Amino acid sequence: MTEDEGRLKMSWRCAGGTFYAFISIAFTIYLIALLISKPLFPLKSDSAEWSSSWLLLAVFDYYHMAVCFVGIVIATENRIAGIIWSLLILILGAPFGCLYTAKQIGSAGTLKLRENYVAVQAIYQVSKPERPLTGFVGYLVAAGYVVIGGAFGARLVWTMMNYPLTTIASDDAEWSFEWFITTVLDYYTIAACMIGVVASTDDLCPGLAWCAGILVITGPAGGAWMAQRLLRDRPLALEAA
């Protein structure tokens, strides 16, 4: 790699890190404002205004985390495959994130992101990653992701059949609340994929902290993890087979 190519690559990583940091800050502000104006608890399933407001936030939250996961997919796959998988995840939802995660486990035996081994080994004396998700354990974890994706897919189909998207009924409390619950489940399904990557990549203590953040703080934690990774010049691509 030439010096100019290295600078260009660093510029793209800085831009990507800044993007993830920005959407995390923006979403956090939006979340805090909504918590103040319309507290999450107690749930108000009979209020159309409350349900539609939290539904909109849940949609943003899903796409916040989906954009994080798609960033990893694009960095890992070739251009055509990356675009196809990204569109499936962004348009059809988290089940395809689970399918991609299961595929990665089956082909590579790990959900760990790659490292700049020459630089990292020189500083931290780390060895190349083991592949813990092989054999029976790999099949079990991959099957778990397929089950999670399938379970959410069933919930999504049920919601679409009973509360069709052909007419956006945001003034209907029941319609908005059911789609709010479905979208929250959509978020946690894609979050399960992201947690697999984080837990496989980071050491135990920081990994647990980031995973807890993704579960509790939601999208901003995933965006912050992506931002710090890019701004520290660490790759986003998953380990190859």
Summarised one tens digit per residue, pLDDT across range 79-101 is 999 999 999 999 999 999 999 99
- Whose tokens are 């251009």? That residue is 79
Q: According to the model, what pLDDT value does residue 106 have?
A: 93
**Residues comprising the chain, all counted:** 241
Q: Give the pLDDT confidence of 21-67 residue by residue, as tens digits.
A: 999 999 999 999 999 999 999 999 999 999 999 999 999 999 999 99
Considering 112-126, 205-219, 226-240, the range whose residues carry the highest mean pLDDT is 205-219
Q: How confident is the model at residue 207 (pLDDT cuts 50, 70, 90)?
A: very high
Given this model, what pLDDT does residue 131 score? Answer: 74
Sign of CA dihedral 60, 11, 89, 237: negative
Predicted confidence (pLDDT) at residue 16 exceeds the cutoff of 50: yes
Q: What is the pTM of this model?
A: 0.90
What is the maximum alpha-carbon separation in the chain? 61
**pLDDT at position 68, please?**
97
Residue 123's pLDDT is 43
Q: What is the pLDDT of residue 118?
A: 44
Alpha carbon 76 to chain centroid distance? 15
What is the phi/psi pair of residue 238, to 5°? -75, 155
Residue 170: is its pLDDT beyond 90?
Answer: no
Confidence grade of residue 153 (pLDDT, cut at 50, 70, 90): very high
**C-alpha dist (Å) from residue 27 to 89, 118, 124, 181:** 20, 36, 35, 19
